[in-house]
A = this chain, B = another copy of it.
Amino acid sequence: MSNTTGRLFRATTFGESHGEMMGVVIDGCPPGVVIDLPQVQADLDRRRPGQTHLTTPRDERDTLRVVSGLFDGSTTGSPLTIVFENQDTRSRDYQGTKDLFRPGHADYGYHMRYGVRDHRGGGRASARETISRVAAGAIGRQILQDRFDIDVIAWVSSVGSIEAAIDVMEISRADVDSHPTRCPDLRAAKEMEANIQAAKAAGDTLGGCVSAVAKGVPAGWGAPVFDKFEADLAKACLSLPACKGFEIGSGFAGTQMKGSDHNDEFTLDNGLVSSPTNHAGGVLGGITSGQPIQIKCAFKPVSTHFKQQRTVTKDLDPVEFKNVGRHDPCVLPRAVPLVEAALWLTLTDHYLITLSLGRS
């Protein structure tokens, strides 16, 4: 279980952080969609390490290579496979931690589950795995944008205790990318940046939240019971490395409202059903309402800090250690394209499910 996501738009990812290759097999692509590969690469570049002084200096070009599924530039209905060679690996950085369980990491769980563990760069548990999701999300984006006027925009809405003030309806991807923090509230962004740099200087790390909106999604996508749109989306987000929380619409804050305030009334807007408020966050009972889908995800502070830590070894000896190597002091800017990918993947899958409904 676990290396495939989606029911009809299915992405199967493979590869370890310090192995030969990362990759993804994307099955279920509708045929005849022209794929703009430079755009896919651009989506990938937003996730790439080494983009700014705020992210890890591991320098991977992450140049995509499509090895199947395209013919004359279009999808054929066959699995579209994208691979990435790993290049700038420094496995020696992990020599000192290969026999101990790094706190905050998956080492101990893997050891208990599998009895064997590729310690180099976290192996399969590395956030490097997300390159494959971003690639698949970029393909999903092109499929949907070929047919709908849908867009997905995510941004950093908080780092530590610094929160951004954002007008969701006005936000653009250019705004998001205008600052290395990917926080489009520049006043907050500067504070975040300063805090990240201070944490980095102290060998420490920060967490924060990514918010996202999907506009233009038609009403009627989703499903009623177990596979509710918001349930699938929560799963997609919680499966991102370091994600510890998810909310849609009013989320946790909405629990303090009264029902008569929380319900979004239906009105007519140019003859279309609309709502002046959006506490629901674009879904009702698992099915999209046509209003913007609004979510927020919590990311814990990066587990790899550079302070002294206590833990135990595989042989159950208590030890102290310090991490070495190249790591992000704050994962938030690079989490933005991951949350977008989670949305694109979920949207594309539900689009195909909706087609399969067989409405006559």
Contact = CB atoms under 8 A, between A and B. Distances in A.
A256 B14 contact: no
A285 B226 contact: no
A56 interface: no
How many protomers of this protein does the assembly include?
4
Interface string A162-189: 0000000000000000000000000000
A285 B67 contact: no
A150 interface: no
Contacts of A311: 265-266
Interface string A281-323: 1011111111000000011111111010111100010100000
A273 to B, nearest CB: 6
Contact of A2 (B223, B241, B312): B223
A47 interface: no
A220 B255 contact: no
A23 to B, nearest CB: 7
Contacts of A32: 114-116, 359-360
Interface in A90-148: 101, 103-110, 112-118, 123-125, 129, 143, 146-147
Contacts of A234: 231, 234-235, 237-238, 246
Interface string A227-260: 1101111111111010011111111101111111
Given A15-B67, A209-B252, A257 B301 contact: yes
Given A1-B227, A244-B247, A264-B104, A8 B356 contact: yes
Contacts of A205: 258-260
A298 B252 contact: yes
A43 interface: no
Given A125-B224, A204-B260, A255-B300, A357 B113 contact: yes
A227 B2 CA distance: 4
A300 B354 CA distance: 27
Most-contacted residue by chain B among A3, A206, A221, A259 (CB, 10 A): A259
A16 B284 CA distance: 18
Nearest to A8: B356
B108 A266 contact: yes
A52 interface: no
A21 interface: yes
Given A32-B114, A225-B3, A250-B300, A68 B14 contact: yes
Contacts of A55: none
Contacts of A160: 255-256, 258
B258 A301 contact: yes
A206 B259 contact: yes
A5 interface: yes
A40 interface: no
A213 B78 CA distance: 29
18 contacts: A5-B226, A15-B81, A23-B67, A30-B358, A74-B116, A103-B275, A109-B286, A110-B224, A113-B220, A204-B258, A207-B256, A209-B252, A228-B239, A230-B244, A244-B252, A259-B301, A267-B318, A355-B355
